[in-house]
Amino acid sequence: MSDEFIPERIDRRDDGLLVQWSSTRPVLIPARRLRLGCQCASCRDEMTGIPILNPASVSDTIAPLAVHLVGSYAVRIDWSDGHGAGIYTYDWLRKLADTSASD
């Protein structure tokens, strides 16, 4: 993984994660986008990668309660809906951030 994809800082906010990479300004990744982007087996089909999480089941007021480092490559988020199994690699966070910045 390139150093440009390793965040310098990740701040948990009620409305999402504010992520700072060395080459960019901080980007807010909205909480709902993060929750819908979960890659765990409960949220995506393990064989096809197709999302199986029903977007209607994720509240507009979903919030990250805590963020935990996973090694040196990812974070895990505890969500206000009780979910907490997903691991968000730094590469995946960057993709979600790029999508957020283009909105």
- Using one digit for the tens of pLDDT, what is the confidence trace for 68-91? 999 999 999 999 999 999 999 999
- Using one digit for the tens of pLDDT, what is the confidence trace for 21-58? 987 789 999 999 999 999 999 999 999 999 999 999 99
Domain count, the chain: 1
DSSP 8-state secondary structure symbol assigned to residue 52: -
In terms of residue numbers, what domain contains 44? 3-101
CA distance 88 to 42: 14
How many beta carbons lie within 10 A of that of residue 88, not counting itself? 23
CA distance 49 to 6: 24
List the Cα angle 61/8/12 in 5-degree steps.
Answer: 20
19: CATH: 3.30.2020.30
